[in-house]
Amino acid sequence: MEVQAARDGCADYEASSDVLKSRMLFGDLIDHVVSGSGNDVYMTANNSGANREALHELWADFGRLPQYLQAHAGVDEGFLWIGPAGTVTPLHHDLTNNFMAQVKGRKRVLLVPLVQTPYVYNHLHCYSRVDPENPDCDRFPLFRNCSIFQAEIGPGDLLFLPVGWWRHVRALEASITLSFTNFVFRNDFAESYNSYGKLLGAD
C-alpha cells in the first residue's frame, strides 16, 4: 500500500505529501494502526490513486447516497483514510464541499468559517500554520478573532464540510474514514479561487 510516512520529521507534512509517499504491506499498516499511535504513518486521500486497484473490493461494502452523491459505477467515488490514534490533518480548507463519513474510531474536527479566512494566516494555497489546538497568539494574534466550532464523529456519523471552511482533524482512536466530493451538484471551485497564484510560496 502507499502511505504517507516520516510525517513527524516534516513541519509541512500535508503540503509536502508528494515527497513523503512510501510503501508498506497492508497487514503491516493495520498492525501499526491497531497497536500504534502518533502521526508518523497515515494512509490519506493523497494515496488514493495508487491504492484504488488494491482496495477496489472494499468499495462494494460502502453504501450509496444517490440523493447527494453521484452513484456511477467504479471505484472513483471517494477517498479512504486509515491511521492510528493521534493522526492529524492540520488546519486547511478544500476547494470542494465534502462529506466526511466515519467508519471506525472517533475523530475530533475543529472548524473555522470561510468568512474568517483573514484571521487564519493562509500561507500556502489552502494551508495555515496555525495550530488551533494550541494557537500561538503572539505569532498569530488575529486568530483570536476566529469562532472555532468542534464536532466529534464516530462510526456511522456523516459530517458535511462546506467549501472553504477551515478544518483541523485529529484521530482520537484508530480510525477509518471515507471522504466524498462527487456530489450531484457542481463541486469544483478551483477556477474561482482567485488568490491561488498569490498564495503559492507566500509566507
Residue extents of the structural domains in the chain: 2-199
**152, amino acid identity:** E
Regarding predicted confidence, which is higher, 190 or 132?
132
- Class at the top of the CATH hierarchy for domain 2-199: mainly beta
* pLDDT tens-place string over residues 40-60: 999 999 999 899 888 888 877
∠ CA 30-44-110, nearest 5°, is: 110
Confidence of residue 99 (pLDDT cuts 50, 70, 90): very high
* pLDDT tens-place string over residues 55-96: 888 877 887 788 999 876 554 578 999 999 999 999 999 999
Q: Is 44 buried (19+), middle (13-18) or exposed (0-12) by CB count in 10 A?
A: buried
Predicted TM-score (pTM) of this structure: 0.91
